[in-house]
Amino acid sequence: MAVDYLWQSKGQVPPVGVSLKTEHLAHVLNARPAMAFFEVHAENYMTKGGAHHRYLEAICEHYALSVHGVGMSLGSAEGLDPAHVDRFRGVVARYGPVLVSEHLAWSVQGGTYLNDLLPLPLTQESLRVVSANVSRLQDAVGRAILIENPSSYLAFKASEMPEIEFLTRLADATGCGLLLDVNNIYVSARNMGFDALGYLDAVPAALIGEVHLAGHVVKDIDGIKLRIDDHGSRVCDDVWGLYERLVNRVGPKPTLIEWDTDVPDFDVLEAEATKALARMTAKVHVHA
Amino acid sequence: MPDLATFQREMRKAMVAGGVPSTTLEGAVVSDTLPAERRIRVHQNNYRESLCRALMSLFPVARVFVGEQFIKGVFAKYIAREPPCEAVLSHYGAGLPDFLAEFAPVCQVPYLRDIIRLEWAIHSLQLVEEFGNALSADGTPRLSPNVRLVDSDYPILNLWMAGTGQIPPEAVSLKAGGQCALVTLSGGEVRLAALDSAQRQTALRIEAGEPVEGDSLTMLTEMGAVDFHAG
C-alpha cells in the first residue's frame, strides 16, 4: 500500500491540533479558533444520527480532521470484528479525514469489549497477528493508517524485541505509519524503567505521521509511583522536553494535544497547542 | 508464556471477574518493583472505572436520586454481570433496566428503574436518524420510530424534572400516581411530554398492535407520535 499517511496543512506553519470534545463543539463552531486540525475518536461517531454529527459536519467545513480509533483491537488473536471494521470504514468515508489512526493494543476477546488499551507480548506471533489485522483495516478503509505506541503498566517475560523495533517491523510489513505519543513513551519509560531518550531517538523520522502530547496522573501503589495515561491534565515539563528533542531531530510533524478526562475550557487546550506550535516554529526558524 | 489467544482469554477473565488473576496470566507478566498481580490490577481498574464513568455520564439523573456512591455500586454490579460486547459505548447500558428489575438493593428506590428507562430513552433518541412521517403499509397506526414511551407507576416525568432541577423536589409526590412519558425526537431535539389517561391508553394499544381510533389518536398523531395511513 502506498505511503499516504503523511499530511502537512496548506499553511506555512506546521499543523497543530487538539482533541475535539463534546463540551467544545458549539464553541469551536461559533468562535472558529485558529487551529489547523481537530481529532475525534471514531467510536463516538459510529451512531447513525445525533447533534454531534451535525456539529462535526459543520466544523469539517472549516478544519482538517483526524479520526482516531480506540476500539479496533488490532492485537486480537481472534481477528477483527467485521461489524466494527464496517463502522470504522463508515466514519472515515463520511468525514474524509486527513489522518486515520489506531493503537498497538487489544481490547476484544470472545465477544467482550474490555474498554482499555491492553498490552501485547512483543513476540513474532503478536507481530504476525497485528500485521494481519492492520492490513485488513487498511484494505477496508483504502488507505494507510497510523499506529500509536501504547502506555505500558506491565511487561511480558516472553517479549522478544523492544517496542520501537516491533512498530518499525509492523510498518515494514504493512506500510502503516506511526502516531508517536511522546507522553506514552515517557509514561512507559518511567513505569517500566527503560530509557525514554533511547526509545525516542530510535524512531525512524520518515514513519512519523502524527505526534500526540497529553497529560498523565501519578498514582502511589504500595509505595511505588506509577504513571497513568489519563489525558486529564496539561503536558508535563519532562514530556515537553522530549517533544523538543524529537522536533529538533525529525522536524515539524502534525501534533495533537489530547485531552479526554476532566475536560477544561477550550482556552486551556488552545494554550497547550500554542506551546507545541512555538516549539515547532522555533525549529522551522532554526532551519530557515 | 501461553499462545496469544490463550493469554487474551485469561486476561479477559481477569478483567471481567476482577480479583486475583490466574497463575497462567500472572506467570506471563514480569514482577519487578511491583508484583505482576498489582500491575495487572491497573488494567482491571481501568476497565471498571472507565465503564463506570461512561454509565455515569449516561444516567446523571439517577445519580441525583440515589447518590454517587450507591449508583457506582449499582453500575459495578451491572458491569460485572453484563460487560459491553462492542466498542461503541453509547450503545452500552440498554440492559440496565432489566438488570435493575432483579436487583434487590434498589427496592428502596422503586422508581429508579423507570428513571433509568427514561434517561435511556432520551439518550437513544439523541443518537438515531430522525425519520420523516412514514406511512404504514396496511394503514394500521404505529408508533413513530422517533418516539419512545416510558409508562410508569410513578410520576416519572415530574421526578425527572426534579432531578434536573427544573422543579423543586417538594413539588413531586409519589402519591400523585403514575405518568406515561412520551419522548420525541423532533427537529433534531428530544422533547418530553406527559400523556393524559386517554392518550396513554391509546399509545399503549398502538404499541401492542391493537386497533385504535378517536380523539386521542388524532392528538398523538399531531404530537408526531404516530405514523398513520389516513387513507
> Considering the domain boundaries, does residue B2 fall inside one?
no
Average pLDDT over residues A197-220: 97
Q: What integer pLDDT is reported at residue B231 of this predicted model?
A: 33
Average pLDDT over residues A112-127: 98
Task: State the count of interchain CB pairs (< 8 A) between A and B.
Answer: 133
> Can you read off the three cell numbers belonging to residue B145?
420510530
Question: Average pLDDT over chain B, rounded to whole?
Answer: 91
Chain segment A158-170, per-residue pLDDT in tens: 999 999 999 999 9
Scan residues 57-76 of A and list those with Cβ closer than 8 Å to B: 70-73, 75-76
The model's confidence at residue B229, banded by pLDDT at 50, 70 and 90, is: very low
CA distances to A133, A192, A193, B41 from B38, rounded to whole Å, are 30, 13, 16, 5
Q: What integer pLDDT is reported at residue A3 of this predicted model?
A: 61
- Burial status of residue A51 (CB atoms within 10 A of its CB: 0-12, 13-18, 19 or more): middle
Q: What integer pLDDT is reported at residue A288 of this predicted model?
A: 43
Q: What integer pLDDT is reported at residue B172 of this predicted model?
A: 94
CATH 1.10.3290.10 is right for the domain spanning A16-286: no
Cα dihedral sign, B144-B148-B154-B157: negative
Is A121 at the interface with chain B, CB within 8 A? yes
Number of domains, chain B: 1
- Closest CA in chain A for residue B127: A50
Q: Which residues contact A109 (CB under 8 A, 6 or more apart)?
A: A76, A78, B8, B9, B11, B12
Q: What integer pLDDT is reported at residue A248 of this predicted model?
A: 95
What residues of B are in contact with residue A70 (Cβ under 8 Å)?
87
Angstroms from A112 CA to nearest CA on chain B:
5
The model's confidence at residue A13, banded by pLDDT at 50, 70 and 90, is: low
Q: What integer pLDDT is reported at residue B230 of this predicted model?
A: 37
Chain segment A62-118, per-residue pLDDT in tens: 999 999 999 999 999 999 999 999 999 999 999 999 999 999 999 999 999 999 999
Lowest-confidence segment of A4-8, A137-141, B108-112 by average pLDDT: A4-8
> Considering the domain boundaries, does residue B23 fall inside one?
no
Reply yes or no on whether the pLDDT at B135 is more than 60: no
Chain segment A249-283, per-residue pLDDT in tens: 999 999 999 999 999 999 999 999 999 999 998 86
Is A224 at the interface with chain B, CB within 8 A? yes
Q: What integer pLDDT is reported at residue B131 of this predicted model?
A: 83
Does the ipTM exceed 0.90?
Answer: yes
More confident residue, B135 or B120: B120
Angstroms from A115 CA to nearest CA on chain B:
6
CA distances to A20, A88, B113, B146 from B135, rounded to whole Å, are 39, 33, 33, 13
**Reading across the β-sheet that carries B180-186, which strands appear in turn?**
B147-151, B180-186, B189-195
Average pLDDT over residues A203-210: 97
> Considering the domain boundaries, does residue B73 fall inside one?
yes
Region for residue B67 given its phi and psi (left: phi exceeds 0; alpha: psi -120 to 50; beta: otherwise):
left
Q: What is the C-alpha separation between A51 and A60, in angstroms, rounded?
A: 14
The model's confidence at residue B137, banded by pLDDT at 50, 70 and 90, is: low
Angstroms from B231 CA to nearest CA on chain A:
31
Q: What integer pLDDT is reported at residue B222 of this predicted model?
A: 81
Reply yes or no on whether the pLDDT at A9 is more than 80: no
Q: Which of A48, A73, A84, A116 is the best residue to mutate to test the B interface, defined by the most B CB atoms within 10 Å of its own CB?
A: A116
Average pLDDT over residues B62-71: 96
Q: What integer pLDDT is reported at residue A6 of this predicted model?
A: 76
Angstroms from A179 CA to nearest CA on chain B:
21
Reply yes or no on whether the pLDDT at A11 is more than 80: no
> Considering the domain boundaries, does residue B125 fall inside one?
yes
Reply yes or no on whether the pLDDT at B75 is more than 60: yes
Interchain proximity B34–A221, CB inside 8 Å: yes
Q: What is the C-alpha separation between B209 and A29, in angstroms, rounded?
A: 44
Reply yes or no on whether the pLDDT at A285 is more than 60: yes
Q: What is the C-alpha separation between A22 and A2, in angstroms, rounded?
A: 34
> Can you read off the three cell numbers belonging to residue A261?
478526562
Question: Whole domain around residue B102: which residue ranges?
Answer: 59-227
Q: What is the C-alpha separation between A215 and B73, in angstroms, rounded?
A: 29
The model's confidence at residue A150, banded by pLDDT at 50, 70 and 90, is: very high
> Considering the domain boundaries, does residue B114 fall inside one?
yes
Is A23 at the interface with chain B, CB within 8 A? no
- Closest CA in chain A for residue B14: A114
DSSP chain A: ---------SSSSPPEEEE--GGGHHHHHHH--S-SEEEEEGGGG-SS--HHHHHHHHHTTTSEEEEE-SS--TT-TT---HHHHHHHHHHHHHH--SEEEEES-EEEETTEEEEEEE----SHHHHHHHHHHHHHHHHHHTS--EEEPPP-S--BTT--S-HHHHHHHHHHHH--EEEEEHHHHHHHHHHHT--HHHHHHHS-GGGEEEEEE---EEEEETTEEEEE----SPPPHHHHHHHHHHHHHH----EEE---SS---HHHHHHHHHHHHHHHHHHHHHT-
